[in-house]
Structure 1
Amino acid sequence: MKAPPGPFQPGFFRSPIRGPWLTGVLGLILLVLTSIVALTGFLSHMAYSPNLPGNAIVPADKDFPLILGWPASPTYLYAVTQGLHTNVGLMVIPFLLAKLWSVIPRLFVWPPATSPAQAVERLSIALLVSSSVFQLATGVANAQYWYPFKFNFVVAHYYGAIVFVASLAIHVIIKLPVVFQARRDREWMKPIREDLDEPTISRRGVIAFAGAGALTLLLGNAGQSLGGPLRKTALFAPRRDSGFPVNKTAKAAGITADMTGPDYQLVLRLGDRVTAFTREDLLALPQHTARLPIACVEGWTTTQEWTGVRLSELAKRAGAPNAQQVLVQSLQKAGVLRRASLGRDQIAADDALLALKVNGADLSLDHGYPARIIVPALPGVHNTKWVAEMTFQA
């Protein structure tokens, strides 16, 4: 079968530095980096506690028994895992581009497959390339708060990760015998000793160039994950000038001054038992102050000093001193009513608060006035703002 014209023709790609050695080194680097990204991504999914009421993003998760509870300590657990996810994910981009450049002749092999085994290999490569590009492109778009696509980012990113991990596993299993054979024959050392015919850049130069790109992306974004004064160094972050970012304003959520005014009441429920507190009632309860971070899925972290009522105290007031979980509902009216559930360890954590103040001042409306949830190590999206009701289960 005659090969089509263009890149399918032998000799179309002429760079002498392409080959198994360069592809293998880049592949090893990518394996390490993508393993970190995949692991922290699935940990982020676990941090949402999707088996609790109101938390499931992927519908099947609410009935999935193997998802463990997310701990409330150490305080910076989610900030670290999600910071690694976003920043290492950015570092993957230059190495992936270099790897695709190194193997591009193989993508245009003709005929595409000469046996069923090779067809499986080629299919796994197609899935691996397409899923990795999809994951990185949508991940960067989400970090920039740019959503040109019409699908739910979190759901698509989750399923894309499953496709990526499965195709990567198939690819690694298929290539392991080749790697071991090359090591036995010491062929992996040959490119170090070989002289190339007029290369424009060395193999090591390609790796160094990709590494410099990865370092640039890391330095341009890591400041928003580290927070504090370093936030201003995050040149690629969309909100580097804000020490206390706001993902959703009160206006966007449909929160008005009337909803949070003198008639506001926090309702605690336990079965048929209902207890209501005004904001003044909440301020009269024992107050606790803690310095805690908020870490968001987009990769930013901010640490503030919060003051409010411990969730364990509210559980007692509701009649559930050993509460197993609580469903927190917001005043939010725009779109779907915002709600999220917290587990037993999160309720019982010493620094888990219904926050009424931040940095010694009343919460602003955009930051959740009159009351919001703050729990150590919890994803920012579950630190519910404008809390209206808390339904406990004993």
Structure 2
Amino acid sequence: MKAPPGPFQPGFFRSPIRGPWLTGVLGLILLVLTAIVALTGFLSHIAYMPDLPGNAIVPADKDFPFTFDWPTSPTYLYAINQSLHTNVGLMVIPFLLAKLWSVIPKLFQWPPVNGPTQAIERLSIALLVSSSVFQLATGVMNAQYWYPFKFNFVVAHYYGAIVFVAAIAIHVIVKMPIVFRARRDREWMKPIQADMDEPTISRRGLIAFAGAGAGVLLLGNVGQSIGGPLRKTALFAPRRDSGFPVNKTAAAAGITPEMTGASYQLVLRVGDRVTAFTREDLLALPQHTATLPIACVEGWTTTQEWTGVKLSELARRAGAPDASQVLVESLQEGGVLRRASLSADQIAAGDAMLALKVNGADLSPDHGYPARVIVPALPGVHNTKWVGEMTFTA
């Protein structure tokens, strides 16, 4: 069967640096980087504690049964995890583009399939390319708080990761015999085609160029993860101008002064037992102060000094001193962020608290006034703002 015109024709692609050596080196770099991104992504899913009521955007009991109680120490655990996930994810982009450029002649080979083995390989490549592009594109959009798509990002990103990991596993298995044969026959030093144009860049130069691009993306974003003065260097981060970022304002959450004013009460429940505290009642309880970070799934981290009532103290006063879990509900109406569950270890953590003040001053409305949860090492999404009710399980 005659090949169609254009890129399917032999000799259409003229660069002599394309070949097994370049593709292999780029593939090895991508394998290491994407392994870090995939691992930290699944750990982030576990940190969401989807096996507890109120936390499951993607239910753990059906789709990801390998969960455990996310630890509360070290306090920067989730911050480190998400810093790696977002920043290494950005570094993948230039290397992925370089890898796609290096193998683009193979994507237009004719005939497309020569047998069952190659059909599986081509399918795995199609899934690998589409899922990696989807994951990186939507991940960058999420980090920029830009949602032109009409689906739930967390759910789509999670299932996209499963497709990506499965595709890359198939791809590695299928390609491994070819890699071993190429190394044995030293084919890895040969270009794909002979009689090509003179190169304008060497193979090592192309790898260095992709590495430089990865370095620029890293330097333009990592400041929001490290925080402090470096936050302003994060030119690609939408939260670089604030040392204390806010993802959702009180106005955006529908929180009004009437909801948080003199009539405000924190309701504690244990079975049929109900206990209510005004904000003044909470301020009269023993206060605890700790310097703790908040780390968001988008990669930013901020560290502040928090003051409030320990969750363990609230559990005791509610009548559940050995509570196995607590469901924290916000005054916010609707939405996936209005409630979150915490495990027994997280309730009992020494610095876990219902914060009433930050840096010595009352919380601002945008930071959760009149009260918000702060638990060391947990994702920011579980540090619920505008807390109205806490239901403890004895």
TM-score (norm 1): 0.97
Q: Residue 62 of structure 1: CA displacement?
A: 6.9
Counterpart for residue 370 of structure 1: 370
Aligned amino acid, residue 368 of structure 1 = G
Counterpart for residue 33 of structure 1: 33
Task: State whether structure 2 residue 194 is matched by structure 1 residue 159.
Answer: no
Q: Residue 176 of structure 1: CA displacement?
A: 1.1
Task: State whether structure 2 residue 49 is matched by structure 1 residue 49.
Answer: yes
Counterpart for residue 201 of structure 1: 201
- Structural mapping, 1:79-228, within 5 Å: 79-188=79-188, 198-228=198-228
Q: Residue 393 of structure 1: CA displacement?
A: 0.5
Q: Residue 232 of structure 1: CA displacement?
A: 0.3
Counterpart for residue 348 of structure 1: 348
Q: Residue 180 of structure 1: CA displacement?
A: 1.9
* Equivalent residues of 1:51, 1:62 under 8 A apart: no
Q: Secondary structure of the equivalent of 2:209?
A: helix
Structure 1 gap ranges (5+):
none
Counterpart for residue 284 of structure 1: 284
Q: Residue 64 of structure 1: CA displacement?
A: 5.7
Distance 1:196 1:141 in 2: 39
Q: Residue 195 of structure 1: CA displacement?
A: 12
Change (3 A) 1:337 1:29: closer
Structural RMSD (CA)? 1.6
Task: State whether structure 2 residue 360 is matched by structure 1 residue 360.
Answer: yes
Aligned amino acid, residue 53 of structure 2 = P
Q: Residue 196 of structure 1: CA displacement?
A: 8.6
Question: Deviation per CA, 1:237-295, whole angstroms, max 9, x where unpaired?
Answer: 11201000100000000000000011111010000011111101101111110000000
Aligned amino acid, residue 378 of structure 1 = L
Q: Secondary structure of the equivalent of 2:50?
A: coil
Question: Deviation per CA, 1:83-127, whole angstroms, max 9, x where unpaired?
Answer: 100000000000000000000000001111010111010000000
* Equivalent residues of 1:325, 1:392 under 8 A apart: yes
Distance 1:321 1:221 in 2: 43
Distance 2:63 2:6 in 1: 51
Distance 1:200 1:337 in 2: 52
Distance 1:334 1:255 in 2: 12
* Equivalent residues of 1:252, 1:334 under 8 A apart: no
Q: Residue 56 of structure 1: CA displacement?
A: 0.5
Counterpart for residue 24 of structure 1: 24
Task: State whether structure 2 residue 266 is matched by structure 1 residue 266.
Answer: yes
Aligned amino acid, residue 155 of structure 2 = V
Aligned amino acid, residue 145 of structure 2 = Y
Distance 2:250 2:69 in 1: 30
* Equivalent residues of 1:52, 1:62 under 8 A apart: no
Distance 1:301 1:164 in 2: 27
* Equivalent residues of 1:286, 1:309 under 8 A apart: yes
Percent identity, aligned pairs only?
86
* Equivalent residues of 2:121, 2:174 under 8 A apart: yes
Distance 2:157 2:389 in 1: 31
Q: Secondary structure of the equivalent of 2:258?
A: coil
Q: Residue 24 of structure 1: CA displacement?
A: 0.3
Change (3 A) 1:64 1:44: closer
Structure 2 gap ranges (5+):
none
Counterpart for residue 305 of structure 1: 305
Q: Residue 198 of structure 1: CA displacement?
A: 2.1
Aligned amino acid, residue 182 of structure 2 = A
Aligned amino acid, residue 7 of structure 1 = P
Q: Residue 3 of structure 1: CA displacement?
A: 1.0
Change (3 A) 1:169 1:17: same
Q: Residue 59 of structure 1: CA displacement?
A: 3.7
Q: Secondary structure of the equivalent of 1:99?
A: helix
How many positions carry a matched residue from both structures? 392
Change (3 A) 1:82 1:237: same
Distance 1:141 1:101 in 2: 23
Distance 1:261 1:197 in 2: 74
* Equivalent residues of 1:47, 1:70 under 8 A apart: yes
Q: Residue 68 of structure 1: CA displacement?
A: 1.3
* Equivalent residues of 2:19, 2:188 under 8 A apart: no
TM-score (norm 2): 0.97
* Equivalent residues of 2:346, 2:352 under 8 A apart: yes
* Equivalent residues of 1:17, 1:196 under 8 A apart: no
Q: Residue 392 of structure 1: CA displacement?
A: 0.4
Distance 2:350 2:19 in 1: 57
